[in-house]
Amino acid sequence: MSGVAGDLLARFGPVAFAMFVVLNLGGILTWVERKQSAIMQDRIGANRASIFGIRVLGLLHPVADAIKMLTKEDFMPAHADRLLFKLAPFVSVFFAFAAFASIPFGDMLRIGGREIELQAVTLNVGILYVLAMLSMGVYGLMMAGWASANNYALLGGQRAAALMITAEVAIGASIMGVVMVYGSLNMQDIARAQGQPLLPHLLGDWVPAWGILTQPLAFVLFLTAGIAATKRIPFDTPEGESEIIGYFVEYSGMKFGMFAMADFLETVVVAGMTTALFLGGWQVPYLQAAGLVFPWGATVSLPHLLVTALQVGAFLFKVVVMIWLLMLIRWTLPRFRYDQAMRLGWMGLFPLSILNIVITGLVLLAVGS
Amino acid sequence: MESGHSSRLSLRQRFYLLEVLTGLGITAHHFFTNMWRHTLHTVLGVKSARGAVTIQYPDERRPYAPRLRSLHRLVRREDGSPRCVACMMCETVCPAHCIYIVAAEHPNPEIEKVPERFDIDLGKCVFCGYCVEACPEDAIRMDTGILEFSSYSRAGMVYTKEMLLALESARPDGTPASPVPIPPDRKPR
């Protein structure tokens, strides 16, 4: 493959792959949510949607949901701001979707004389980009709350904004520790650095320096703040479908569905970020570019394409496990009250992440000297 | 925000993270045991392993107790005519006044009377079972196991003699042996 077509493929291939993964994971999460919660609660879960009697474990329910939402009345309040009201769900979904772009899902792919970074957009400030996209997402919610011409929706939008700021500060501060340890804002570099052995003169080549080992406190803080950023239980003060109604009160049909989808996409993004920053990204333990290199000296050389496939598979596997964990948390914990969420964010997560930065700095100084 | 309530929590509970992990352990344990049972059930074919307590109601039914008072039925003689002799005992004892009987002469002189009409308005019935207790002929029973009767109108809740005569006693496990009578206003479109 050569010329323009090859260039285009090399450029858009990773983008298409990332879009494919995120869209499909986001779409299938409604099914995962139903089924996983059901299994956790000794139930069966939605299994009745069928095409010609074929049910495939309830996998057709997302399809049925989509048809239902598309055929519902698309209601708009009389005094709503027409443009913002219609724009808000798209803004919300777009930024949730775009956030995934700089998360790497594989090492450099060398094929046909080309070197392709397996991430949709190669950015030197990838972490900042993801953070920016996640925080831009809240504009959609505030627009929805404001444009609905409904005080409950407005209050919900305010809560969403407050929660998002709380989460963003904690996310940014907790990530700083990771950035200090691996010395880069580029997520691909961070993922690569996590393949290095941890404390080589002490532990040899046995333990890879994954972020969860070098930055355990930051992992907990990031995960907590990340769940808050997805606006799902236990942090769903902006929405609270069951009693405190939120910013999408006035939305119906597919626009309502898009807000729900934005939450799912954000779940995928947070899972992807956690994987890339703390779980070694696409790293497979003892798998290096040439093949498996075990610490006891054995080596198995593998072809480059297989190594890449293993790495991409490992990344997807880790993301799925993280999504499972996020779902588990969502279906285990009760919702925080608004003041509890704020207190946890500003008096718990934020100071702790500052403390984490200080400790990391001291340890780095001690190790470096 | 300091209140008596929060001070009753222990330090471990206030730290919350360990409690969260405990909770996650419980739910994850449920998840994995149920997943294992589902796998046994569907993949390995161990039908006794059930991963869920769900009874998928229209397809499966919870076994009913034999003494359950369900939809009434009129017991038939061997020739198919009702065993009822239209003595009006059930109509008299019924606290809800939901039974309506019109008596007629029976062709057999040994049998005193026969109901020409025997209507039960299930919209009024309180399922006390007094009619079954009162009947001297064991002509009315509440053992069909049928609990699903509904209608779009009050008139549809009135079950006539013919409908009640067509019903059978429930199977030993309590599941209905005869189909649920469908009132005229609920016929499939």
pLDDT for position B187: 64
Instruction: Give percent of chain B with pLDDT exceeding 90.
Output: 44
Residue with tokens 């010395």: A183
Whether A125 contacts chain B with CB within 8 A: no
Nearest CA in chain B to A217: B17
Nearest Cα of chain B lies from the Cα of A3 at a distance, in angstroms, of 50
Reported as a pLDDT band with limits 50, 70 and 90, residue B4 is low
Nearest chain B residue to A38 by CA: give it: B52
Contact between chains at B52 and A328 (C-beta distance less than 8 A): no
Instruction: Return the residue in A32, A40, A322, A324 with the most chain B beta carbons within 10 A, the one to mutate for interface testing.
Output: A40
pLDDT band for B5, please (50, 70, 90 cuts): low
Complete DSSP assignment for B148-185: ----SSSGGGEE-HHHHHT--PPPTTS--SSPPPPPGG
Chain length of chain B? 189
Write the pLDDT tens digit of every residue in A160-173. Answer: 999 999 999 999 99
Determine the average pLDDT of the residues in B124-153: 91
Q: What is the pLDDT of residue B131?
A: 95
Question: Running DSSP on this structure, what letter comes out for residue B61?
Answer: -
* Residue A299, beta-bridge partner list: A293
Three-state SS for B21?
A: helix
The 3-state secondary structure of B64-119, one letter per residue: CCCCCCCCCEECECCCCCECCCCCCHHHHHCCCCCEEEEEEECCCCCCCEEEEEEE
- Contact criterion met (CB < 8 Å) for B34 and A44: no
Residue A25's contacts (CB-CB under 8 Å, 6 or more residues apart) are A268, A319, A320, A323
Chain B residues contacting A via beta carbons under 8 Å = 1, 17, 20, 23-24, 26-28, 30-31, 34-35, 38, 51-54, 56
Asked if B35's CB is within 8 angstroms of A43's CB, the reply is no
Query: Best interface-test mutation with A: which of B20, B37, B38, B41 has the largest number of A CBs within 10 A?
Result: B20
Topology adopted by domain B73-184: Alpha-Beta Plaits (3.30.70)
- Comparing CB atoms, the residue among A36, A42, A329 nearest residue B53 is A42
3-state secondary structure chain A: CCHHHHHHHHHHHHHHHHHHHHHHHHHHHHHHHHHHHHHHCCCCCCCCCCECCECHHHCCHHHHHHHHHHHCCCCCCCCCCHHHHHHHHHHHHHHHHHHHHHCCCEEEEEECCEEEEECCCCCCCHHHHHHHHHHHHHHHHHHHHHHCCCHHHHHHHHHHHHHHHHHHHHHHHHHHHHHHHHCCCCHHHHHHHCCCECCHHHHCCCCECCHHHHCHHHHHHHHHHHHHHCCCCCCCCCCCCCCCCCCCCCCCHHHHHHHHHHHHHHHHHHHHHHHHHHCCCCCCCCEECCEEECCCCCEEECCHHHHHHHHHHHHHHHHHHHHHHHHHHHCCCCCCCHHHHHHHHHHHHHHHHHHHHHHHHHHHHHHHC
Q: A342 and chain B: CB distance < 8 Å anywhere?
A: no
Does residue A321 belong to the interface with chain B, where contact is any CB pair within 8 Å? no
The pLDDT of residue B1 is 47
The SS3 of residue B20 is helix
B76: tokens are 């038939």
Which residue would you say has higher pLDDT here, B84 or A121? B84
- Is the pLDDT at B28 greater than 50? The verdict is yes
Q: Note whether B1 contacts A339, CB cutoff 8 Å.
A: yes
CB contact under 8 A, A328 and B24: yes
Which helix (H) or strand (E) segment holds residue B121: the answer is strand B113-121
Q: Which residues of chain A carry a pLDDT beneath 50?
A: none
Nearest residue of B to residue A343 by CA position?
A: B1
Rounding to the nearest 10 degrees, give the CA dihedral for residues B106, B109, B110, B116: 10
Q: C-alpha distances in angstroms, A278 versus A55, A106, A290, A307?
A: 38, 15, 24, 21
Q: Which residues of A touch B56 (CB under 8 A)?
A: 44
Contact B34 A328 (CB under 8 A): no
Q: Which residues of A274-306 are buried (b: 16+ CB within 10 A; e: fewer)?
A: bbbbbbbbbbbebbeeeebeeeeeeeeebeeee
Whether pTM > 0.90 for this model: the answer is: no
The residue ranges of every structural domain in chain B are 4-43, 73-184
Cβ contacts of B26 on chain A, cutoff 8 Å:
332
Task: Collapse the DSSP code of B141 into the 3-class scheme (helix H, G, I; strand E, B; otherwise coil) and give the result.
Answer: strand
Say if the Cβ atoms of A328 and B31 lie within 8 Å: yes
CA distance A21 to chain B (A): 25
Nearest-by-CA chain A residue for B39:
A39
Q: Is pLDDT of B6 > 60?
A: no
Report the alpha-carbon distance of residue A299 to residue A292 in Å, rounded.
Answer: 5
